Copies of this chain bind each other. A is one copy, B any other.
């Protein structure tokens, strides 16, 4: 029998948790020993999520989130699908118990605690742990992820925005201060919430910008872009809510420096071994419908000679490559599994 890694999902009641569970239930090398949720403690996974009711593994019980209790289930790796601020505390406790931790909150994504405080409005909850956390973008830091105890798994917008831009910035092909991005996210990005704003009748037939001009994800986006550019990058980012369940469509425009033909060359080289980045080529927009419920990100591009701008068009599933799928990808790397184990779903 193949290797089985015992896993825990902490805070499994929302959509990110639900997607993590879906992927873990189907994963050939993962066993769920523990799911936590204050709200659902005492209920079986399959009761809380009727979609999974008949899955092998669906009989596991929800427990209260507690590091000792989680460790006692034998879990070797814990995924944290908790609100920022809360996650850090569990991370510390679980690491202490010897688990590896993949945190899907923002708590360990921003290496500079001052920037964290600026964007999240509270002092960083654990500056010490922050130092060892690895920003878990597998296409960029696979080797670090393999050795990490603590992964800060990137946000949904950052993944869709940085993957197309990073190689171009590193290659000096675009002006780092000219970046303008619009993204459109499905409603699941707002979480499983009773907020009437995200009710069917308020979200259907509604498209609107929000968190203008300084969405929290800008902190990690600019951090990563700055590393690639070798200078502090400031960019314009406008997220939009659109009437879909899943999916992020991102369109970025930036001033080209040099030769447009090199765009393709640089992207191709950068992602030649990346199993979840699909380059569509020039003139091919990415469509969310091709990536929902997968760990893929599709990237197309175009050059606009009239304005001298490169247009980058990417699509991913906000819950997949933008959250749960990407976390599983890090999990695979950390556990010495095939990077794509459990992720070859379509």
Contact = CB atoms under 8 A, between A and B. Distances in A.
Interface in A219-242: 234-236, 238, 240, 242
Given A213-B311, A251-B238, A200 B245 contact: yes
A72 interface: no
Contact of A306 (B204, B214, B244): B214
A275 B53 CA distance: 11
Contacts of A309: 180, 213, 236
Contacts of A289: 51, 202, 205-206, 208
A86 interface: no
A146 to B, nearest CB: 22
Residue of A204, A246, A291 with most chain B CB atoms under a 10 A cut-off: A204
A25 interface: yes
Interface stretch (A29-37, A133-141, A297-305): A297-305
Given A242-B184, A242-B242, A196 B192 contact: yes
Interface string A283-312: 101111111111010100011101101010
A51 B245 contact: no
Nearest to A275: B54
7 contacts: A55-B344, A200-B203, A207-B242, A208-B287, A208-B289, A213-B309, A213-B311
Contact of A290 (B50, B188, B238, B242): B50
A56 interface: yes
A313 interface: yes
A22 interface: yes
A184 B184 contact: yes
B26 A288 contact: no
A326 B52 CA distance: 18
Contact of A285 (B54, B56, B208, B246): B208
A315 interface: yes
4 closest A-B pairs by beta carbon, nearest first, are A213-B304, A182-B182, A206-B289, A208-B287
A243 interface: yes
A69 interface: no
A209 interface: yes
A315 B210 CA distance: 13
A194 interface: yes
Given A182-B238, A187-B200, 5 more contacts: A180-B180, A192-B202, A210-B285, A213-B307, A243-B244
Contacts of A205: 186, 244-247, 288-289, 292
B206 A345 contact: no
A213 to B, nearest CB: 4
